[in-house]
Structure 1
């Protein structure tokens, strides 16, 4: 109703790439403990969590579990072989990608189940018991609205920005347009319905979104399939995943985001194209990685807006255009910026 989707205009491609690449680093760090078995490492969600995590990870690297690390290496190699070798081979005959992820899940569950409490048991971290069923709907307590209204507003803004950032990332890669107001409506409807079931505040998952895109999904019908499977699991099939190693899940998530990690390396190309856009990416990425996603996002948006103000105050001179020539007796004045209070004096001084 308020056409608030216009806010997404301020999310430039460079800011989105910096945000998603920085968030991908957080995801990688959060999965390292499961992939290596290193103990006594903190979470990365708090401020400067990545720095503390890396310090503790290096200090406790001697606690690395060899069998867990070996399982990680085998799983990652299998996934990369599937993505880089097998998929291109089978692509001419079928649109369906080779289901390496599904095979790894089935094989690892079977291996851990039959090897449990035997000499072949690798003692990998497993998912364990999964609670079955779902809470009955209930009316939320509106008496606490005043206590949580500001926190809820902050969560809503961050959730929306991250959601739109991921949507823009996927839309740019697959060359289609998104309706930002429709995304607002979808998020709002989801949170209203979820509030009657005691759910946490929802939003887009970087790992799940990228994994779904890499698996070749084309529409929201895939979500219906996922929901159906989750309902089946919640009401009876949950014990089947008890022996699923967490290492396998971590490897699937990390490999699915390999393109986001490569974008970090490719950012040097952006420096040659546009210095300002490169620094928008760099500032956003650095702030997200070193501080956290929420504050890093705010810093990235403020810095991007600051570059807009600075660029609008200085017009390009003739020295920036090699083909430009001055004609005797004629002066052409061009001001490459919108005229407003911040650059009005510069406009007059440049003309004089």
Structure 2
């Protein structure tokens, strides 16, 4: 599976097919030694190949040799970034790639990959890697479509679909490759314009130090950083999915960065372009029963034997067959169910997914992932700036205090007490919202209001800006003869209140462990016990 896919993905990257085989050698062996997952299949993948084509296509390169040199250097650059991130314990950065962003980006990238392969499937020439120019150039050449290339490509897709229906254990890609080579070798189809892969250099990749393009280093940094994060995201997401199946917990994100980065660095000295984990190959590896890194050694050995002895056979491989392999492979990357689910339940995240999808598809690969992450962070900031704030009331016959909007008919209505719960940390971004919402609820209670109780169980942090607002609020309410109480504050929050002087201004007697204790204290029903007093005032 790796041999035809590697050659096909090298074509996506704009490289000669043999570089896909080079990339299938050392990186997977290095990962098998250093990685924390036993079944991950490392090598060239469609998405990274597309990013390389998109990123390097934007540079002013003089020819194919400079293009190849830049792709190899990119492996070194990506590897260095990944190793540094691993040693600096920056594996947490993958958490900033939210699922809507990943889904939108992956689906768009899959479509772009499919669109870029149309030229091979239709037997035409297209010079661009951008979606709209490709479509425009393709439409302009509809009269030049090669029916032989179309027939061979569609036949390849049909055979693979049929094989998958019969058994997922059969390597459909290899069967189709053999089919394509046989057609080209034993029939005169090449006389009708069927384009072949052509001569592939035999032998293992030679050692060489990647040349550093100092003048383009600044432009390549953004590309290398994006590729580092995306490759890492693919490794972690596939690794985590495998963990669920094997009921283990072995993935160490920081070690994964080091393993992946080392593989890219070492690979760059042997003509490899950037690699990461492949979804489909990992699934096949797992289904075949791989339990250790030995599977990677065997896979690399077979690729090496192919480079040494079988490259003349691949001379007759039609490009349309490689395009058909890619076309079928990308269908697994397009997820339609998740956007439907978001549209029904979370419209804001659905819009985030669509925005990432459209930007990736029509603007660019790098722009799509960068702006997608930026939009997701902005969405998070917006949510934290206006978190949920509930007015609570005591449910009749219980000590429970619940949202009055959810339990309206069961709540004891009291005009003298206002209980509110703020469901987020209190910081500079939402302090004004907190103050305005509280003032709104105070006004709604009317002149009979005597006590405000803040249920602080969800407030896990209070910054200096919010401390200022709390102190101002305490003094403002005191002038109106309204007492402010704080209940259910966690230990760290309570420590902040003590250290910053809020408790001193508030009065330690106005701190309570539970809201019900505060209400009972107000009513004089249950005076504070020694243990309640000690727990509520306990500080670091």
| Contact 2:389–2:420, Cα closer than 8 Å, also in 1 | no
2:426 alignment counterpart: 339
1:93 alignment counterpart: none
**Unpaired stretches in structure 1, ≥5 consecutive residues:** 88-95
2:115 alignment counterpart: 29
**1:62-211 counterparts in 2 under 5 A?**
62-83=143-164, 85-87=165-167, 97-115=169-187, 118=188, 122-134=192-204, 136-139=206-209, 147=215, 149-171=217-239, 173-174=241-242, 176=244, 178-197=251-270, 199=271, 201-204=273-276, 209-211=278-280
Q: Quote how far apart the aligned CAs of 1:323 are.
A: 2.7
- Cα distance per residue 1:167-192 (max 9 Å; x no partner): 35434654546432122102321233
Higher strand share: 2
2:361 to 285, 289, 295: 289
C-alpha RMSD of matched pairs (Å): 2.8
Q: Quote how far apart the aligned CAs of 1:120 are.
A: 8.4
Q: Quote how far apart the aligned CAs of 1:343 are.
A: 0.9
**Unpaired stretches in structure 2, ≥5 consecutive residues:** 1-86, 392-402, 440-540
Q: Quote how far apart the aligned CAs of 1:291 are.
A: 1.3
| Contact 1:316–1:336, Cα closer than 8 Å, also in 2 | yes
SS of the residue 1:333 aligns to: strand
2:304 alignment counterpart: 231
Q: How many Å separate the matches in 2 of 1:65 and 1:195? A: 37
Q: Quote how far apart the aligned CAs of 1:271 are.
A: 1.1
| Contact 1:35–1:72, Cα closer than 8 Å, also in 2 | yes
1:91 alignment counterpart: none
For the pair shown, the structure with the greater C-alpha radius of gyration is 2
| Contact 1:23–1:288, Cα closer than 8 Å, also in 2 | yes
| Contact 1:211–1:253, Cα closer than 8 Å, also in 2 | no
**RCO higher in 1 or 2 (8 Å CA, sep ≥ 6)?**
1
1:7 alignment counterpart: 93
Q: Quote how far apart the aligned CAs of 1:151 are.
A: 4.1
Q: How many Å separate the matches in 2 of 1:276 and 1:101? A: 40
1:310 alignment counterpart: 382
Q: How many Å separate the matches in 2 of 1:30 and 1:166? A: 22
- Count residues with an aligned counterpart: 329
Change in Cα spacing, 1:310 to 1:270, as seen in structure 2 (3 Å) is same
Output the TM-score relative to the length of structure 1.
0.83
| Contact 1:283–1:300, Cα closer than 8 Å, also in 2 | yes
2:127 alignment counterpart: 42
- Cα distance per residue 1:70-101 (max 9 Å; x no partner): 22222212222222x312xxxxxxxx612332
Output the TM-score relative to the length of structure 2.
0.56
Q: Quote how far apart the aligned CAs of 1:138 are.
A: 4.2
